[in-house]
Amino acid sequence: MSETNTENRSKLKCPHTDGRTPFALIHEEKKKEVSDTSDTLSSKDIFVATRKTKLGRVYKSSYDNTISKIAEMERIQSTQESEDDSHSVDAFASVMGHEHLGRVRLYGQGLC
């Protein structure tokens, strides 16, 4: 069983770095931070919050892929903010792809 779990974890492309902290808790904390400003909480914000590095930690090579995806989301969001807001595009969905039916990413397992 442990070997199977290790093998499955190695297949993950963008693993989170929050350990056992529930995504729902992270979502609520970010929502409180955003409520102080006029911004809205996006999927990109949750993705970045759950994949940030801690100082002095070294992560696997898959983290380079995560950094490039975050940079692409930032680029899409900055170009969208500089342009007209009549045609808004979700930066997270454009980089990570659309959701599969019955799945909600970045909200944890207890959402359904």
Question: Cα–Cα distance between 67 and 60 in angstroms, integer?
Answer: 12
The domain locations on the chain are 2-111
Helices (DSSP H) in 36-98: which residue ranges? 43-50, 62-82, 91-96
Tens of pLDDT, residue by residue over 67-93, are 788 888 888 888 877 766 556 677 777
Residue 25 C-beta-side C-alpha neighbours within 13 Å = 5
Asked if 91 and 80 touch (Cβ cutoff 8 Å), the reply is yes
Write the DSSP string, 84-107. Answer: -TTS---HHHHHH-PPPTT--TTS
Tens of pLDDT, residue by residue over 16-45, are 777 888 888 888 888 888 877 767 788 888
